[in-house]
Amino acid sequence: MEPGKLPLQLLRSILAKVPMEDERVLVSGGVGEDAAAVSFGNCLLVAKTDPITFATDHIGWYAVNVNANDVAASGARPAWFLASVLLPTTWNECEAERLFDQLIAACRELGVTLVGGHTEVTYDLSRPIVVGCMLGEAGPQGIVRTAGAKPGDDIVLTKGIAIEGTALLAREAGQQLTKRGVDAALIARAKDLLFSPGISVVREAQVACQSTSLHSMHDPTEGGLATALLEVGVAADVGMRVDREAIPVLPETEAICKALGLDPLGLLASGALLITLAPAGTPALLSALRQAGIAAWRIGVVTEAAAGFKVHTPTGLQDLPQFARDEVARFFST
């Protein structure tokens, strides 16, 4: 198989075999459902695990924020983090210490406590791997599920695409970008996207939950915005119709994707939050996000499942592109 997520149908088949006999488990593994939820009476424990495999620069920062995003996208508060850190034999003690400084700084930024994990130096690794596990908590009122999207909902996207993928390519493939004529100042701005506007969606998820009633939230990661829309649709058994001209693509993303022959819609997009809600609540949501200094746009509408996944372009209505693997993975594999 190619690097990246498992094919959708294979993943569905595997998850269908998993028994779920504990009635306290309210949300378990499923396509698009990136965090599990377990009831503890007057509160819910929300859990998420995700590895960082592409990045080396600031890998600790990625690990904390990517895992926190999925907990926050469920409407919960990220609170405790565990990290399994696998280091290549080529690393030295200073590099290991720097990675842990990143973990500590990222946790402090989000008000999260680093409570444990595992560390080892292991064979046959060309780069470090950090497998994170974020635990969070939510009140008894429940959480926001990816599967909650409903036909007629507005689709709202925050901050634009593709923050994580663009920053990652700038940091890991700077020489290739320079050789292909990308301006050094643009590469520097792209690197800084990791921190400004940043790959965290914790704050906008909290603002969104406090502003109005939401039907679903989802963090676009591997496979970019297009895959995130597909995951929401499959989870909720609905279709999606988006306006290509309404999707905010960052200028740094446009330039880097053009130079490398990549599609922004399939590029790793952590840092944006995908929200669906009844149209009556959209003005309040956009207003609350704007007051918090977070840009957001209505990019489309949820449709009935039979309508499929469509994108409106200047030349007409087309099928939403699908990506067997993330554009970052495709670039690094070639």
Question: Do the domain assignments include residue 108?
Answer: yes
Q: Does residue 113 share a domain with residue 13?
A: yes
Domain final residue pick, 138, 163, 186: 138
Q: Does residue 152 share a domain with residue 121?
A: no
Q: What pLDDT is attached to residue 23?
A: 87
- The Cα–Cα gap between 202 and 235 comes to 22
Q: Does residue 168 share a domain with residue 133?
A: no
Q: Residue 93: what are its φ and ψ, rounded to 5°?
A: -65, -35
Domain final residue pick, 92, 116, 138: 138
CB neighbour class for 196 (10 Å; exposed up to 12, middle 13-18, buried from 19): exposed
Domain final residue pick, 91, 115, 138: 138
Quote the mean pLDDT of the chain.
Answer: 93
- For residues 269-278, one letter each, b for 16 or more C-beta atoms within 10 angstroms of the residue's C-beta and e for the rest, the string is bbbbbbbbbe
- Find the radius of gyration of the CA atoms of the chain: 19
- The Cα–Cα gap between 146 and 275 comes to 9
Q: Is 305 helix (H, G, I), strand (E, B) or coil?
A: helix
Domain of residue 118 covers 8-138
Q: What pLDDT is attached to residue 120?
A: 96
Name the pLDDT band for 55 (thresholds 50, 70, 90): confident
- The Cα–Cα gap between 168 and 319 comes to 28
Structurally, the chain folds into a number of domains equal to 2
Q: Does residue 122 share a domain with residue 188?
A: no
Question: Do the domain assignments include residue 3?
Answer: no
Per the document, the length of the chain is 334
Q: Does residue 165 share a domain with residue 241?
A: yes
For residue range 147-160, list pLDDT tens digits in order: 999 999 999 999 99
For residue range 122-135, list pLDDT tens digits in order: 999 999 999 999 99
Question: Do the domain assignments include residue 1?
Answer: no
Q: Does residue 240 share a domain with residue 165?
A: yes
Q: Rounded to whole angstroms, what are the CA distances from 4 to 33, 77, 96, 171?
A: 17, 28, 26, 19
pTM assigned to the model: 0.91
For residue range 86-110, list pLDDT tens digits in order: 999 999 999 999 999 999 999 999 9
Question: Do the domain assignments include residue 2?
Answer: no
Question: Do the domain assignments include residue 267?
Answer: yes
For residue range 276-323, list pLDDT tens digits in order: 999 999 999 999 999 999 999 999 999 999 999 999 999 999 999 999
